[in-house]
Structure 1
Amino acid sequence: MAKAPFLIPAVAIVAAVGLSSLFVVDEREKALVLQFGQVKQIKTDPGLGFKLPLIQEVVTYDDRILSLPTRPLEVTPLDDRRLVVDAFARWRIVDLVRFREAVGVGGETVAKSRLDGILNNAIREVLGSVPSTAVLSDDRTPLMNRIRDLARREAAALGIDVIDVRLTRTDLPEQNLSATYDRMRAEREREAADERARGGEAAQRVRATADRTVVEVTSEARKQAEIIRGEADAEANRVYAEAYGKDPQFFAFTRGLQFYTESMKPGSSSLVTQPDSVYFDYDRFLESIGERRAPTQ
């Protein structure tokens, strides 16, 4: 019975030691078992693990795909046109031992800092080898793939796999934006002036062609009208001649009526004459205008 007081502490110590030899790895993590800083065990599967209590320690790392946004970076493409570039990378720890040796106790914080430098160098190297038009274009996939491949080769020494790199922003520096906008505005105004000049020239050609066509059509119409009028006058004279030959008296009568009709139109000059004027004597009137009344039989 005297040993009972010492048994409980002993059991508690054994239980504590047993529990300290157990560790649990989450499905989102990987773990290293270290003994005096040396890697003794790699635990990549989720579940329960064992280690030596007090001697060994467990260090866990995130097994998910991580994101790393870069700081705004100024680059100079081939045409010496400075640009400000933002990017982000997707990366993952693939070699725990190499990762531990490369970053030490700093873990993911140190890894992000070193990976940020690798990405910046890759961005400067790739974008510095192409003109700014390629960087500012809509399709930058080949450039991003080149940056990813270059960063992947460099990050392999850290036990990291760079899965993807994306350029999120490619802009001009603030001090260059105003000058660039002014240059773009001047170019657009010049293009607009050229378009207006070409449009005015085309309009002048159209108007000249239309005016020439109007003159040609009008001239042709007048010529045809004169021809038709001449033919009509000739036909009228022919008809008059035939009528005169058939009945000179009737012809003279119609000519007299035509003269009276033309002279008495509204708006014609006023006629002032005496009652015994030739104008009111039909026979004398015909003689005055050159017509001779045929003698009656």
Structure 2
Amino acid sequence: MKRSAFLLPIAALAVLLLFSSIFVVDERQKALVLQFGRVVSVKEDPGLAFKLPLIQDVVFYDDRILSRDVDPIEVTPSDDRRLVVDAFARYRIIEVERFREAVGVGGIALAESRLDSILRSELREVLGSVSSNEILSEDRAALMMRIATGARAEALALGLQVIDVRLKRTDLPPQNLDATFARMRAEREREAADEIARGEEAAQRIRAQADRTVVELTSEAGREAEIVRGEADARRNAIFAGAFGEDPEFFEFYRSMTAYTRALQGQNSTLVLSPDSEFFDYLRTDQVTAD
């Protein structure tokens, strides 16, 4: 009984030591085994691994591709047109031992702080060597490649691999926006004024052409109307002449009736004529009785 009571704590201690010597490396991680702060082994393959209990510790690092947003910075391109650039990078830890030596207990936070400094330096150097138009054009892909290449060489000293760098946004500084917008507004207003002037000029040409066409059409129509009217008058005169030749008395009567119609219009028509005027031949009673 006394022996069982003595062996039970020893067994429990052995089990505890056994479990404390076993650790699991996830497929998304890499592990460093440290003994008194010094790296004694690197575990990169997933699965069970062992360490010395009590005297050895295990530190895990993410083996996945990580993303890092860089705080917006102001750069000055070669044309002195300042821009605010917002970028981000994708990276991963490829050498955990070198990473541990570079950042120590600061871990990923210290590594990202140093990576930010590297990226800001590369952004200023590369974007400062080109014009703002190149930064805002389709050539920015080549610029991002240059930034990534420069940052990749420096990041290796931290045990990091920079996969790529992207520019998320490129804006003007707030203090330059008003002036830029005013200049853009003035340019658009000038273009609008030019378009209006060209439109007015075209409208005047069209209006003048339309007026000319109206005059030509009116003149042509008047000429044709006069021709038709002349032909109609000639035909009418020919008919009257023919009628006069066949029955002169009827023609005289028709002309007199037409004259009466034109002269005796309205309710107060007054004519001052001699009583024996031929105008009244067909109005006299004796003439009507004789007929």
TM-score in terms of structure 2 length = 0.84
Tell me the residue number matched to 1:189.
189
Instruction: Tell me the amino acid that sits aligned with residue 81 of structure 1.
Output: R
Distance 1:243 1:274, change over 3 A: closer
How far has the Cα of 1:72 moved from its partner?
Answer: 1.4
Of stretches 174-183 and 93-102 in structure 1, the one that deviates more from structure 2 is 93-102
Q: Letter of the aligned partner of 1:250 in structure 2?
A: F
What's the CA shift string for 1:19-43, capped at 9, x where partnerless? 4332232343210123455433221
Determine if contact 2:72/2:86 at 8 Å carries over to the other structure.
yes
Whether contact under 8 Å (2:253, 2:282) holds in the other structure is: no
Separation in structure 1 between the aligned mates of residue 223 and residue 266 of structure 2, nearest angstrom: 32
> CA separation in 2, counterparts of 1:23 and 1:268?
134
Deviates more, 1:189-198 or 1:125-134: 125-134
**Partner residue in 2 for 1:78:** 78
> Is residue 2:223 matched to residue 1:217?
no
- After superposition, give the CA deviation of every residue in 1:197-251 in whole Å (9 maximum; x if it has no partner): 1111111111111111111101111111111112222222222222222222222
User: Could you tell me which residue of structure 2 aligns to residue 232 of structure 1?
Assistant: 232
TM-superposed CA distance for 1:8, in Å, is 5.0
Counterparts of residues 45-194 of structure 1 (less than 5 Å): 45-137=45-137, 140-194=140-194
In structure 2, how many angstroms separate the alpha carbons of the residues matched to 1:134 and 1:201? Answer: 38
The 3-state SS of whatever aligns with 1:78 is: coil
Offset of 1:93 from its aligned partner? 0.9
Letter in 1 for 2:188: R
Find the counterpart in structure 1 of residue 265 from structure 2: 265
**Percent identity between the two aligned chains:** 64
Task: Figure out how many residues of one structure are paired with residues of the other and give that number.
Answer: 285
Q: 2: CA distance between counterparts of 1:126 and 1:30?
A: 34
Stretch deviating more after TM superposition (50-59 or 134-143): 134-143
State the alpha-carbon separation in 1 of the partners of residues 268 and 67 from structure 2: 105
> Is the CA contact (8 Å cut-off) linking 2:28 and 2:62 kept in structure 1?
yes
Which amino acid is the alignment partner of residue 178 of structure 1?
D
TM score, norm. by length of structure 1: 0.83
Residue deviations 1:78-110 (CA, integer Å, cap 9, x gap): 321101111222221122223223323322122
Q: Distance in 2 between matches of 1:125 and 1:211?
A: 66
CA–CA distance in 1 between the matches of 2:253 and 2:52? 151
Q: Deviations over 1:275-294 (max 9, x none)?
A: 6654322399xxxxxxxxxx
Instruction: Report the Cα distance in structure 1 between the residues aligned to 2:2 and 2:256, rounded to whole angstroms.
Output: 173
2:248 is matched with 248
Q: Which deviates the most, 130-139 or 233-242?
A: 130-139
Distance 1:81 1:151 in 2: 24
Give the aligned partner of residue 20 of structure 1: 20
Question: What is the CA RMSD across the aligned residues, in angstroms?
Answer: 3.0
Report the AA paired with residue 243 of structure 2. Answer: A
Partner Cα separation in structure 1 for residue 268 and residue 209 of structure 2? 44
Tell me if 1:34 matches 2:72: no
Structure 2 residue ranges without an equivalent (≥5): 285-290
Task: Say if 1:251 and 1:53 are closer, same or farther in 2 by CA, change over 3 A.
Answer: same
Q: Give, in whole Å, the separation in 1 of the partners of 2:273 and 2:236.
A: 33
Cα 1:52–1:267, aligned 2, differ >3 Å: closer, same or farther?
farther
Q: Quick one: distance in 2 between partners of 1:268 and 1:226?
A: 35
Q: Which moved more, 1:265-274 or 1:110-119?
A: 265-274
Partner residue, 2:288: none
Does the aligned pair in 1 maintain the 2:256–2:279 contact within 8 Å? no
